[in-house]
Amino acid sequence: MQKIKNIAVIAHVDHGKTTLVDELLQQSGTFAAHQQVDERVMDSNDIEKERGITILSKNTAITYGDHKINIIDTPGHADFGGEVERVLKMVDGVLMLVDAQEGVMPQTKFVLKKAIELGLIPVVVINKIDKDGAEPDRVLDEMFDLLVALDANDEQLEFPVLYAAARDGYAKWNLEDENKDMTPLFEAILEKVPYPTGSADNDTQAQVFTLDSDNFVGRIGITRIFNGRVKKGDEYMLVKASGEKIKSRVSKLIGFKGLERIEIEEAEAGDIVAIAGFADIDVGDSICDPSNPVALDPMHVEEPTLSVIMSVNDGPLAGTEGKHVTSNKIRERLEKEMETNIAMRMEPLGDASFKVSGRGELQIGILAENMRREGFEFLLARPEVVVKEENGVKMEPFEHLVVDVPEEFQGVAIEKLGKRKAEMTSLTPMPDGTVRIEFEIPARGLIGFRSEFLTDTKGEGIMNHSFIEYRPYSGVVISRTPGALISMDDGEAVAFSLYNLQARGILFIHPQDKVYNGMVIGESARPGDLEVNPLKGKQLTNMRSSGSEDAIKLVPPREMSLEHAMEWIEDDELIEVTPENIRIRKKYLDPTMRKRVQRDKKNAAK
């Protein structure tokens, strides 16, 4: 039987998971000496490379000595927690990375909690020990306290600890040891991570934990084999979560080595492979021996907590920039996304709109960004939390929020979060002069908070949050105070007019940008919306006075990214997303209609 170790690399965002996997790939000799390899090679799609984050869990395999080590690199953002939960069921051990300066963060708690519940023993790697503010001993104490708080058993509390600087390519057992290479980490994996249970001689049992697709072979299930063997060309029974059973043949069996996928004839218990040939394969499905189909427990993935309405663009500029603009095209694309992304849901609402639900703004924002790059054009409404009703009580999701701010800004952060129904649970001064404050806050209170928080802390604040649970509804949460500057005409913006409007607030547009009646062109300096005319040119006369031809100096407008726009908009506004532009507009473009709707709302409130 092959000597196999299956591990997942888990950590909070930006603690160095992908860089560590890079080094393990390099130092195991997986790449040929002449092979050109990118930095953070596991982050394969464009958005991952641009933002420096991992969005999808990905697996690779390396050979070290006579062992094959299957490694799964996981996302660190709370929005992609669903990916991490599934992956942990497929491995026998975890490398738990922690930043030697930042220490235990919300997502560290979330992923470690899942690993402890599954009985996995973490190999703790305190990474980035080369940082100036690194305090490995404090971080080790934090990790131990966290494991105690998570009810870890005695075996789990005896976790091995390594100290590493993944970027510089070394790990060591003791801080005093010499900086050499990753050998101590390879040794820790071989020593401390258990071998897979199960036997190649038993009846076949395998479970799908990630999906992929190929234009030639269709859907591919990336699968962990728990028992028995899987052979190319043989017939197996696919048992779905609903209990439905479908027989089919394995048309292609794919093994992993480094970044390559290699076609193989057979794989056995303990290995992770990709299987093609089952048209209806889904995450959590079991692949079993047809003569004795014993399914594995279906997977539970936490429900989405945030939803957004996506609809067809019906604005004056609709269809001028995008390639795919119809509701049928949008629906097809969303259905394709739901096939592989089981942490998201999509529900058609009729009237050419769809309700898309996910684990957070970032997850929904990345789907929208991918669609925009593929040539889609659509409207997005303001994100809303998914509210449930249990025993007649209205329940909403709550988040654990951690903010790191310089001392002089702690007052403003606490005050702003207090207005958003946050309750402070702890305040800890940090060695670098910042303060770490922890809150429990309704997820609604976080919508639109990030940009305000960065402004209040002059860009120095750091915030991270993760889902705790559903709790009773906490009442009205205060949202954006400033109103919007709304264009009252269609055409191209004129520099002279924008120059005069600068005193009214912050602009979002440049001269010569296309605008239309009802489009939001900036943020007003005061509460309440203001209708303005960005098309008004300078009145020319045949008399010229000195100084009248001075160049117009415009303040650079605020560039609105998709995520920033999702945070900024209110209930009566929409984001127009096209391959070339992100615009904000009012839901009702006609000013008379807007006033009527506002009046009706006020009357209903009374």
Query: 44-75: per-residue pLDDT in tens?
Result: 455 544 444 444 455 778 888 888 888 887 76
C-alpha 510/C-alpha 512 separation (Å) is: 6
| Residue percentage of the chain with pLDDT more than 70 | 88
Q: Provide the annotated binding site for GTP.
A: 14-19, 127-130
Which residues, in sequence order, are CB contacts of 30 under 8 Å at separation 6+?
A: 60, 62, 63, 257, 258
User: Within 10 A of 372 (CB to CB), how many other CB atoms are there?
Assistant: 19
Q: How confident is the model at residue 31 (pLDDT cuts 50, 70, 90)?
A: very low
Q: In the predicted model, what is the mean pLDDT of residues 499-503? A: 88
The mean pLDDT value of the chain amounts to: 80
C-alpha 362/C-alpha 13 separation (Å) is: 13
**407, 416 in Cβ contact below 8 A?**
no
**For position 49, what pLDDT does the model report?**
46
Topology adopted by domain 388-472: Alpha-Beta Plaits (3.30.70)
**90, 209 in Cβ contact below 8 A?**
yes
CATH for the stretch 205-288: 2.40.30.10
Torsion of CA 107, 110, 112, 113, to 10 degrees: 170
Evaluate whether 3-192 and 388-472 have a shared fold: no
Whether pLDDT at 579 is above 50 = yes
Torsion of CA 11, 13, 16, 21, to 10 degrees: 70
**For position 606, what pLDDT does the model report?**
67
Query: Who wins on pLDDT, 455 or 316?
Result: 316
Q: What are the Cα distances from residue 200, in Å, to 226, 255, 278, 363, 444?
A: 9, 17, 22, 39, 50
What's phi and psi for 71, nearest 5 deg? Answer: -120, 135
* Tokens standing for residue 458: 């002059």
* Tokens standing for residue 129: 């020990």
CATH for the stretch 482-540+550-558: 2.40.50.250
**For position 51, what pLDDT does the model report?**
44
C-alpha 284/C-alpha 241 separation (Å) is: 7
Q: Provide the annotated binding site.
A: 14-19, 127-130
Alpha helices by DSSP H, listed for 271-359, are: 327-340
**For position 77, what pLDDT does the model report?**
55
Does residue 244 sit in helix, strand or coil?
Answer: coil
Torsion of CA 24, 27, 28, 34, to 10 degrees: 120
Query: 391-435: per-residue pLDDT in tens?
Result: 888 888 888 888 888 888 888 888 888 888 889 998 888 777 788
The amino acid that residue 179 corresponds to is N
Q: In the predicted model, what is the mean pLDDT of residues 187-208? A: 83
C-alpha 366/C-alpha 372 separation (Å) is: 10
Q: Compute the half-sphere exposure of residue 99: CA atoms within 13 Å on the CB side of its CA.
A: 18
User: Within 10 A of 237 (CB to CB), how many other CB atoms are there?
Assistant: 20
Summarize the chain as % helix, strand, coil (round to 5).
25, 35, 40
**For position 32, what pLDDT does the model report?**
42
Q: Which letter, b or e, does each residue of 116-134 get, where b requires 16 or more Cβ atoms within 10 Å of its Cβ?
A: beeebbbbbbbbbbeeeeb
Pick 3-192's CATH classification: 3.30.1280.10, 1.20.1250.40, 3.40.50.300, 3.90.480.20.
3.40.50.300
**532, 523 in Cβ contact below 8 A?**
no
Query: 351-403: per-residue pLDDT in tens?
Result: 888 999 887 777 788 888 889 888 999 999 988 888 888 888 888 888 888 88
Instruction: Name the DSSP letter for residue 265.
Output: S
* Tokens standing for residue 584: 């904000």
Q: What angle do CA 341, 346, 350 make, to 5 degrees?
A: 160
Q: Which of 434, 366, 445, 362 is nearest to 403 (CA)?
A: 434
- Segments making up each domain of the chain, as ranges: 3-192, 205-288, 388-472, 482-540+550-558
**217, 303 in Cβ contact below 8 A?**
no
* Tokens standing for residue 36: 């050109």
